[in-house]
Amino acid sequence: MGRLKDKIAVITGSGKGLGEAMALLFSREGAKIVVFDIDEPAGRETAEQIQEQGGEAIFVHGDVSNPDDAARLIDAAVDAYGRVDVLVNNAGVHVDRTVANTTEEEWDRILGVNLKGVFLCSKAAIPQMRRQGGGNIICISSISGLIGQLNQAAYNASKHGIIGLVKCMAYDHALENIRANAICPGVMNTPLVASVPEEHIAPYRKTSLLERFAEPSEVANAALFLASDESSYVTGSAMVVDGGYTTK
């Protein structure tokens, strides 16, 4: 307990799934949380869970792909808590398509949320981190950012882009005491996965060496390490949390 004591953590897409797991874990470790989600009921519920467990949290409603919302998010964090120590760019959307059958609207939406959203939220946060003497940016990529996959053209492009952007942010801002890292999870037991019929999802359980999907809490633990001072010499990395999937 206390690995993030008194740190201010802004987590996008924290209404459900991995984002919710990170918000709850970071709070238990002493952070004050800014929950951000386009799904207002889910985001408010996460903030309320934190408060019920004795933590501090506020909810901000918005879309990471909207520059005004991204700027407003960081402003709200500073207004409430005075600084932004950790930004977790987690919000993401997904569609199964090849290049040939991806519409331009789908492409723009996937890249807008998954990659432009990382750019906009980081762009809003970096000046504040610079003013306060440093900060920490964690971006949720995926194994889809490391490999090619069937029917994942836009999604994989966005997740590959996150890793490249992280490396550039780490390079550009290292001497300002701003670190940037990515996490590349495999398949997780999220509400989205739970909605898929078991007969369709069962074969994918054996794609990892551990023959199971990750729990969001397991990936959240990796994010906790990167958010804490224990990772003070880690920047520009892409941490793989995939049960060994990419070793095959």
Q: Residue ranges of the domains in the chain?
A: 8-247
Is residue 193 scored above 90 in pLDDT? no
Q: Is the confidence at residue 204, as pLDDT, over 90?
A: no
Position 191 pLDDT exceeds 80:
no
Give the model's confidence band at 200: pLDDT under 50 very low, under 70 low, under 90 confident, else very high. confident
Q: What DSSP string describes the chain?
A: --TTTT-EEEEET-SSHHHHHHHHHHHHTT-EEEEEES-HHHHHHHHHHHHHTT--EEEEE--TTSHHHHHHHHHHHHHHHS--SEEEE-------B-TTT--HHHHHHHHIIIIIHHHHHHHHHHHHHHHHT-EEEEEE--GGGTS--TTBHHHHHHHHHHHHHHHHHHHHHGGGTEEEEEEEE--B--HHHHTS-HHHHGGGGGGSTTSSPBPHHHHHHHHHHHHSGGGTT--S-EEEESTTGGG-
Confidence of residue 201 (pLDDT cuts 50, 70, 90): confident
Higher model confidence: residue 94 or residue 23? 23
| Arithmetic mean of pLDDT over the chain | 96
- What pLDDT, on the 0 to 100 scale, is given for residue 106? 97
Please say if the pLDDT value at position 155 is more than 90: yes
Report residue 131 as tokens. Answer: 């003013």
What are the catalytic residues?
155
Q: Which pLDDT score is estimated for 248?
A: 82
Give the tokens for residue 117. Answer: 């959203």
pLDDT of residue 206: 86
Query: Over 80: is that where the pLDDT of 124 sits?
Result: yes
Q: In this model, does residue 202 exceed pLDDT 90? A: no
Specify the CATH number of the domain 8-247: 3.40.50.720
Token representation of residue 92: 């993401």
Q: Give 43's pLDDT tier (boundaries 50, 70, 90).
A: very high
Kindly report, residue by residue over 111-120, the tens digit of the pLDDT. 999 999 999 9
pLDDT over 90 (residue 226): yes
Residues 170/136, Cβ–Cβ less than 8 Å: no
Lowest-confidence region among 1-5, 6-10, 42-46, 104-108: 1-5
The residue-averaged pLDDT of 203-217 equals: 91
Residue 196 pLDDT greater than 80, yes or no: no
Mean pLDDT of 155-167: 98
